[in-house]
Chain A
Amino acid sequence: MNAPVSTATLEVASTAQTPARGSAAKPMIRVSGVTKRFGDHEVLQGISFDVQEGEVVVLIGPSGSGKSTLLRCINFLEEFQSGEIHVDGEPVGYADGIRKRQSEADIARLRTKAGMVFQNYNLFPHKTAIENIMMGPVLVNGENKSQARAHALELLAKVGLKEKADHYPSQLSGGQQQRVAIARALAMRPKVMLFDEVTSALDPELVEEVLKALRDLSKEGMTMIIVTHEMQFACDVADRLLFFYEGSIVEDGPPKEVFANPKTERFRAFVKRYRSGSQS
């Protein structure tokens, strides 16, 4: 019934890091029973999964399946109607066990634990690249400017843009802006990085520079949740693949396993559509 999906065109890397299975380590992220509705439409239907420290989890699935929404729930840019989310042991959005909304101060503080990079970069247009990166540390952590600037320069060097420090976003290409956005998120020293389709808005030739930055980050042991359409990249870098379909997770496992033993017809259909798309 569920024949293994041919992995001929999609090469599953064997160099992906394997998480510490079965360890008693508390998960970096715990999502339990999260439901979200937009009006009548239930966009997330009781989502539950854990992410261990250092794990790279990639969310894939058709548009509208809820993957971006789930990502935005993790740093509480979206509210959710039921369930709980814990980041680094602390509950997000609502106090532990009860449905009481956290204070604005707490929500803001918890957001610093998860760095987010958006599809459309969302850099502050009136600040230079380095000022964009410095804003969080200076305004939220109260760091002094020279300290923050030094750290920001390090991060810019890390994403390969040190010489663009004093450029404005309008003077940078899409790929460069996205790398600045990554540096900006890293400036807050988050425990986990959230990537929401970060290459979807880029011209094809600019995609690789951003994916490289993501690969480098994963090699350093950053906990990452990535929503993407780049299937080859997903298989390369993911420790685990979560396939979303209409608000539920229908496949969950290392890329090799998921492709070898897909549990659902939907996933096979999804990959088939993708493979035929990439072949044409």
Chain B
Amino acid sequence: MSSIATMLNTVSGWLPAFSDGFLVTLALVGMCLPFAFVCGMLLVMVRLSRPMVVWAPTYAVIEFLRNVPTFLLILVVYYGAPLLGSRLDGLYCGALAIAVQHTAYLAEVFRGGVAAVAKTQWDAGRAIGLKPASVFFRVILPQAMLKVLPAIGNQVVVLIKDTSLVAGIGVVDLTLSGKLVMERTAASYEVFILVAAFYLALTTVTSSVFHWLELHARKRS
């Protein structure tokens, strides 16, 4: 019994350090997610434009961002920013890199959603006299979002997990705080089990929220 008590004791000693790291992780998610969502929406509209001079380079940029490792993008911003004269803190370097990459990911998810909406919906919209832009925003987009809600939920989970990579440039998020606790105390890999549990809690809550949203959305349609 006493071993459990000691274990709980040690773990509770870790918690303050974790809570700081956890807040950093949450801050990252809080910065990157809205940015990626809004910019992804803007980007997909550019991607879906008619003229090739517009969508072709957009396609290239999106595909490029989707096919390079996240950590490498973080390193680009981290080492590149000082060269451009900015004194960006590691946290914001990571945030920028993750936000930009997830903009590309989400743009592609949105594009898939739009493609999945039946072409006949366009005709229906035009037939009742809506202008193309209105058709897009009032008819196509809502249906597209509904279709890819699960995929969006998935991407959010991926984003939460990607924030852990800032540990590689010394930003004390949840993951790195685990490493620090490990170095300070006598503990070893067990610390990371707790770190994993924190992430699991975060991603599970996120998934549940999206499941609820999907159910709610299905009821309305």
Chains A and B share a contact (CB less than 8 Å): no
Interface residues of A (CB under 8 A from B): none
